[in-house]
Chain A
Amino acid sequence: MTALARKKIAKLERLAELAAVHSKEQGESLWREALKRVRRNPSAIVGASILGVFILIAVLGPFLVPYDPGQIGVGIPFGLEVKEGQAIYPGPNSEFWLGLDHQGRDMFSRMIVGARQTLLVGVVATAIGLTLGCLIGGIAGAAYGLGGKRGRTIDNVLMRFIDMLLAMPSLLLAISLVALLRPSLMTVMIAVGFISVPIFARLLRGAMIAQSNAEYVVAATSLGVHKRKIALSHILPNSIAPVLVQATLTLATAIIEAAGLSFLGLGNPDSSQAEWGTMLADGLFNSRFDYAPHLALFPAIGIIITALGFTLLGEAMREALDPKLRK
C-alpha cells in the first residue's frame, strides 16, 4: 500500500516537474531548441570534447611544450641521437613521448605547437570561404527569388562563375593558386578558403530560393515589407542552417587540404613553424618510413582526429537543425 502510494507521489512529482518545464516564461526560439538537441546527441558530445581539447592545446601550446620545438638535436644530452645515415630514429620513450624527428627535434612539442597552425589555417580558410560564398550565394539567391527577370540574369552570371570554380578539382585549384601567389601561410589560407566558395554559394543560393517560395514570404510581401528586408530578415535566417553545418564540415576538409598542400611542399615555407601537414611529409619523405613509421603516423593521427571532431559536431548540428528530423 505504502509502496503504491509512494509510487503515485513520485509520478505526480514528475508530472509537476514536466509542467514546470513547459510553463516557462520566455518562448523558445528554434536556435535554442536546436542547441538543446545538440547537447543530447552523443556524437556531438564526442566531437565537441575532441575539439575542446584541440582548441585548448592550440591556444596554450607554447606553455605546454616540454622542449623547444625548433631545437635540433634536443636528445643529445640524453644520449639519444638521430643518425639518418644509419636509419636510427629514437622512438617514443619516457623523455621524448613521441620520439625525435629526422632533425632530432622533439615530436611531442612539435605536435602541440602544430595544433595552433592547423587550427588557424582551418578557421581562417573556412571564414574566407564562408564570407565569399555567402556573399555570392546570398546575392544570387535573393536576386533569383525576389528580383524578377533582372534578378534571374544576375543569378545566372554569378552562378556560371561559381560553376567554373566547381568544374576544377579543388586541390588542383588550390595548388595553382598557391603556385601563382607564391607559397606563404596567407596564400595557403586563401587557396583553401577559395575552393570552398562554390559549395557555400550553391548551398545558400539553393536554400534561399527554396525559402523565397515559402508562404511567409508571400505574407511579408502582402504586409508591404521591403524586398531587401524580406531577403535579410526572413529568407536569410531561414536558409543559414545548412550553411553553418557545412562550415563545420568544411573546417575538417580545410584542415586536411591545408595539410595536403604542406605535404606537397606548397605550405608555409617558414619551416621553423611546426605544421602537421609538413610533419607528415617529413615523416614520409625526409626520414626512413620503413624504420620510423611513427614520424608520419603521429601527425596523420592528429589530422584525422581533429577532422573527425569537426565532422562529428557538424553531423550532429545537421541532425539538430534539420526540420524533418525534429520530433
Chain B
Amino acid sequence: MTGKLVEIDDLKVHFPITKGIIFDKVIGHVKAVDGVSLSIGQGQTYGLVGESGCGKSTLGRALLQLTKPTAGSVKLGGVDLTTLPPEKLRAQRKRMQMIFQDPMSSLDPRQNIESILSEGLLAHGIGGNRDGRRALISRTLDAVGLPQWALSRYPHEFSGGQRQRIGIARALVLSPELIVADEPVSALDVSIQAQVINLLDELQNELGLTYLVIAHDLAVVRHISDTVGVMYLGALVEEASSNDLYRRPLHPYTKALMSAVPVPDPLVEERRERILLKGDLPSPANPPSGCRFRTRCPWAKERCAQERPELREVDGHKVACHYAEELSGLLAAV
C-alpha cells in the first residue's frame, strides 16, 4: 500500500424535484448520496454493496464526475476533481475509467470494435498515428482475451461476456489508475461472471489497478474486494475489510444483507436464523429522522429516531449505529 488514490470527503449528490408548468419550482431533493466519505488505497479494491436505489451507482458516477456532486470533494491522487474546469477535467478522465453494467447499451451499436477502442486514444492524443493506436489496441485485446479479428466487427455480433470484455478493453486501453466497475457482472451468465471477475482480478495484479466495484451480489464483492462498504439510503452504514465484514457484521443492516445470502448446505440453511427486513426502502427524498435504517431495524430504540449515528470505529470496523457494541454480542449469536 502506497497511500490513497481516491479520497472522497462528505460527498453529496442531490437531485432537485421540480414542479410547475412554465417556471420550474424546486419542491424538494432526492438525496441519492448524502454525505459519504471514503478512501481507496493505491492498488486496492473497494467493494460497494447495498440494495437497489441506495445510491451506490450515483456515488460511482459522482466519483467520475459523470454526475455533478452537489457538495463535498473527490480527490484522485491529490487532484480535486470537483473544482476542475471542464477541459482540465476532460484531460483527467484518462486516469479514471468506468465499466458499465449493461455491455450492450454502453457500446455504440454503429461503431465497430476498433473505432470503440480507439476513441479514447484519439480524445487524449495517445498512441500517435493509426499504427501506434493499432498496436495499443491489439495488446489490450490480448489482455482481455479477445481475438484480433474482433476489430472489424460490431457489438451486436458478440455474446454478453465478450461484450463486457470489450467494455473492459475500452477502459483499459487508456491505462487508467482507477476503474469504477458499476455492476460489472450482474447482466451476465453465472458461468461468465466468474470469468469476468477473474479477468478483473488478473488485470489488477498485472497492472496495479485500483478498483471501485459496485455490486449487489455479496459473493462477487467478497471475492474481489479488500475493503467493503455497505450503503443504505445514500450513506455508508458500515465499512470494514472484506473478511472481517463477512465474518462479523456489526451493523444490523449488514447482518440482514448477509443473512439473505443462501448457504449451499441444506442443514445449515435450515438451522440458521434469518433477519427479514420489513417494508421497503424509505424515499430518499424524505428520509427518516435520526438513523436512516431505524424504520426497518428490529432493534431500533428511541435514540435512533433523534440522533443520526456517525460512522465510528468499533472493533476495526467503521459502523454507523448507536448500539453497535451491544448488538455485536447479540448478532454474533444469530
Contact A224-B106, Cβ < 8 Å, known A28-B157, A30-B156:
no
**Total A residues in contact with B, Cβ cutoff 8 Å:** 23
- Let me know if B98 is at the binding interface, CB within 8 A: yes
Interface positions, chain B 137-178, Cβ under 8 Å from A, are: 149, 152-154, 156-157, 167, 170, 174
Q: Are B170 and A224 in contact (CB under 8 A)?
A: no
Closest Cβ of chain B: how far from A25's Cβ, in Å? 8
Q: Pick from B91, B96, B105, B113: contact of A214, CB below 8 A.
A: B105
- Contact yes or no, B108 A238, CB < 8 A: yes
Is B174 within 8 A of A215, CB to CB? no
Asked whether, in the complex, the Cβ of A237 is within 8 Å of the Cβ of B110, the reply is yes
Q: Collect the chain B residues with CB atoms within 8 Å of residue A216's CB.
A: 105-108
Q: Name B47-84 residues within 8 Å CB distance of A.
A: 61, 64, 66
| Choice from B105, B157, B170 contacting A215 with Cβ under 8 Å | B105
Given B97, B153, B170, which contacts A27 in the complex, CB threshold below 8 Å?
Answer: B153
CB proximity of A37 to chain B, nearest CB, Å: 14
Bound-state Cα–Cα, A215 to B187, Å: 14
Residues of B within 8 A of A264 (CB): none
State whether A222 touches B123 (Cβ < 8 A). no
Q: How far is the CB of B17 from chain A (nearest CB, A)?
A: 17
- Measured CB to CB, the closest approach of chain A to B173, in angstroms, equals 9
Let me know if B120 and A223 touch, CB within 8 A: yes
CA distance in complex: A31, B110 (Å): 8
Contact A223 B170 (CB under 8 A): yes
> Is the Cβ of B102 less than 8 Å from the Cβ of A225?
no
A30-B93 in contact (CB<8A): no
Interface residues in A13-46 (C-beta closer than 8 Å to B): 25-31
B109 at the interface (CB under 8 A from A): yes
Give the Cβ gap from A142 to chain B, nearest Cβ, in Å.
Answer: 16
**A244 → B minimal CB distance (Å):** 14
CB of B244 within 8 A of chain A?
no
Whether, in the assembled complex, B100 has its beta carbon less than 8 Å from a beta carbon of chain A, the answer is yes
Query: Of the candidates A27, A28, A223, which one forms a contact with B119 in the assembled complex, judged by CB atoms under 8 Å apart?
Result: A223
Q: Does B120 lie within 8 Å of A224, measured CB to CB?
A: yes
CB closest residue in chain A, given B154: A27
Query: CA separation between A222 and B97, bound complex, in Å?
Result: 6
Asked whether B105 lies within 8 Å of A223 as measured between CB atoms, the reply is no
Expressed in whole angstroms, the Cα–Cα distance for A25 and B102 within the complex equals 27
Given the known interface contacts A28-B154, A28-B157, A30-B110, the answer about A224 and B66 at a Cβ–Cβ threshold of 8 Å is no
Q: Is A160 an interface residue (CB 8 A)?
A: no
When distances are taken between beta carbons in the complex, the residues of chain A under 8 Å from B90 are 224, 226
B322, CB-defined interface residue at 8 Å? no
For B120, the chain A residues whose CB sits under 8 A away are 223-225
Task: Evaluate contact between A26 and B152: CB separation under 8 angstroms.
Answer: yes
| Inter-chain contact A238/B110, CB cutoff 8 Å | yes
Contact of B106 among A31, A215, A229 (CB under 8 A): A215
Q: How far is the CB of A300 from chain B (nearest CB, A)?
A: 42
Alpha-carbon separation in the docked complex, A96 to B170 (Å)? 69
Flag whether B112 is at the interface (Cβ < 8 A): yes
A223–B66 contact, CB under 8 A?
no
* Pairs A–B under 8 Å by Cβ, sample size 15: A27-B112, A29-B110, A30-B109, A30-B156, A215-B100, A215-B102, A218-B106, A219-B98, A219-B167, A223-B119, A223-B170, A224-B91, A224-B94, A224-B120, A224-B123
Enumerate chain A interface residues (CB-CB to B < 8 A).
Answer: 25-31, 214-216, 218-226, 229, 234, 237-238
Q: List 6 A-B pairs, minimum CB-CB distance, nearest first.
A: A27-B153, A224-B93, A223-B120, A215-B106, A215-B105, A216-B108
